[in-house]
Chain A
Amino acid sequence: MDFMVFQYPMITVQACLDGILLGILFALIAYGMALQWGVMNIINIAQGDLVILGGYIAYFMYLYGIHPAWGVIVSPIIMYFVGVGIYKLVINKVVDRDLFISILATFGISILFMQLMNFAFGADVVLANSGYGTTFLFDSAVVLPNSKIFSAFVSIVFAICLVIYMKKSKLGRAIRATAQNARAAKILGVDTEKVYAATFGLNAALCGVAGALISITFTIHPYMGLPYTIRSFMIVIVAGLGNLPGVAMSGMGLGVFEEFADYILGTEFRIGSVFLLLVLILVYRRFKLSRKREYLK
């Protein structure tokens, strides 16, 4: 254990800033999770693998000499079609069924994607170098890579665009109507099948954006998907479905928690602490609800 955090206040500042910038990115992924959960009532375990796939698209652009930041535009477009493809092949058969079926089916997709990416891109940890340099704050006591600031900025822009799109556009209205009551929406002439496909595609596109940003700021690896799924699941259950400020706040909270866990417990326990936090949050909520003789549903 390392108690540097308490001796040097600047490390605390560093961890908080890092965590917040990271958390905004998590919130973007979690927003996609909340979208499909709310609309289609499925939990997508393959969420993290979609993120990683999006990251590899940006990484390949980098390999071919295009600046990886353009991945933020290209990756969601490709990922949208990947998402619609997954929907047509698998998800449309599990939408109306038991949630566990969707969990298991997407778990299968997750394993499939993991291995296919491992074949296609190799098992190395890779990083697309954006060459953005770093910003030094407080007499160089706090070091922030500009790529992190860039990624947080882009995530916020995308989130705002999406919110406006959901409020104003025809498809956005159809999605919200389907989320409220799929049957009524169908009666009123909404093609729910199309809405579902579009929702899953949008979710995949969001994952693509997040993945492209992650490939710039952090590293990507074919097997790193599951932690992103768990993080977004955790953010959604803390914030609740359809509570966007809550998603942003809990995303940042999670980011800060992770940075501190990294400093205090050590990097090898970072992922483990995320998973443990999920269990603790669920158990805490379960005890809180059981006082009212209710349970999580």
Chain B
Amino acid sequence: MNKNVLLYAAILVFGLAAPFVFPAFKVQLSILCVLIVLATTWNIQGGEMGYNTFGNILFYGLGMYLCASVQVGMFFPLAEWTESGGEKTFVHTPSQFFQGMAAGLVVAAVVPTIVAGLIGYAILGLRGHYFAICTLGLGVAAGEISGGIEIIGAGQGFTTPPFPNVGGLEARGEFFYFLSFGALVLTFIAVRAIYSTRFRLILNAIRDNEDKAEAMGIETMKYKIIGWMVSAFFCGLAGGIMGGLVGYIDSTDVAFDGREMGVFMVLMAILGGKGTLWGPVIGATVFHIFKEGFWTFFLGWQYVALGILIVVIVIYFPEGIMGWLREKYPERFGEVVDEADRKAQVELK
């Protein structure tokens, strides 16, 4: 326990000091925080509950559009804003910007949660690959449909309000870094708290055998929807922050980007290890470092590299880093190892 507190304190100190220690990587670090949030929330579905979803991108994109729309719509007419494209006749004052951002983030988190609750009953009744394909369809449909809606910019995209002129570029980076770091801390605390309750056991029971869980008297549907709503809350929040960070929202390339972010969150969770608390965090970090390091090398070829990466990870590394560590050092994970039993297993192999 004592060791854990030290670890968390070290990470917290590192997180708070990071933008000042590595001032050049502020944007990258903010993106990393968002990626960790997404991977962690995907893990609630894919890892703990056994419902492999491609649809969390729906909440992410929804949050992104909602946050920006609220931020603009609170003070200016939204339709004129999106119509004018990049050239702005309206300018947010600093207080308007921050008020709008705060309200936008609240809406961006709450509305996807409600949406998840509403569609959850219908969608979560599907199982296995039907669920996966259905959520894939949902994500792509959302992208295609939002690309046809005029008021949020349709095909030409939506420029989010630029950061007000207080403190310049440095302040912008720090603001978004601490915002996303805050979201990360919030997510981690919430997920950790959830995982220490009976709720995680119920989710695991659903993953292992849903029919039996139901037979044991667990209202599986209720817990599935709650889990999905928790995911949606943090995905929406992450989307709202990411929208402000990127500064430009496009329906299929930024918001409902099933080909990038939608796959990334699955990949990061699998790379780190499904069904563990730390797996998605490690997976996202490794993935982000790898991606940023190699993306510049493979400039133009990044999707080729991504495709190969997906295939390699899925085929050769489905247990992830945490799974590998667990196999190697089971004692560290609190498993009691019977030496004779282990030897017998090794011989069997």
Contacts and interface: CB of A to CB of B under 8 A. Distances in A.
Nearest to A266: B148
A115 B138 CA distance: 23
A108 B52 CA distance: 16
Interface size bracket, B side? 35 or more
Q: Is the interface of B mostly helix, strand, loop or mixed?
A: helix
Contacts of B1: none
A230 B137 contact: yes
Given A115-B301, A282-B134, A107 B310 contact: yes
Interface in A109-127: 109-116, 118-119
Contact of B125 (A105, A107, A275, A286): A286
Interface in A81-101: 90, 93-94, 97, 99-101
Please indicate which of the listed interface residues B128, B301, B311, B318 has the most CB atoms of chain A within 10 Å of its own CB. Answer: B311
B286 interface: no
A290 interface: yes
Interface string B102-130: 00000000000000000000110111111
A4 interface: no
B125 A295 contact: yes
A148 B148 CA distance: 28
Interface in B10-48: none
Given A104-B310, A286-B122, A297-B128, A112 B137 contact: no
B314 A108 contact: yes
A283 interface: yes
Nearest to A267: B148
Contact of B144 (A99, A109, A275): A275
Contacts of B126: 282-283, 286, 295-296
Contacts of B309: 108
For the residues of A in contact with B, the DSSP-based class is helix
Contact of A90 (B134, B303, B315): B315
Interface of B: 52, 122-123, 125-130, 132-134, 136-138, 140-141, 143-145, 147-148, 154-155, 259, 263, 266, 270, 300-301, 303-304, 306-311, 314-315, 318
Contact of B307 (A111, A290, A295): A111
A180 B230 CA distance: 42
Contacts, number: 134
Contact of B137 (A266, A275, A286, A296): A275
Interface of A: 43, 90, 93-94, 97, 99-101, 103-105, 107-116, 118-119, 226, 230, 233, 237, 266, 268-269, 271-272, 275-276, 278-279, 282-283, 286-287, 290, 295-297
Contacts of B155: 268
A112 B308 contact: yes
Nearest to B316: A93
Contacts of B266: 104
By Cβ-Cβ distance, the 8 closest A-B pairs, closest first, are: A112-B307, A108-B310, A272-B144, A275-B141, A115-B303, A111-B307, A268-B148, A108-B311
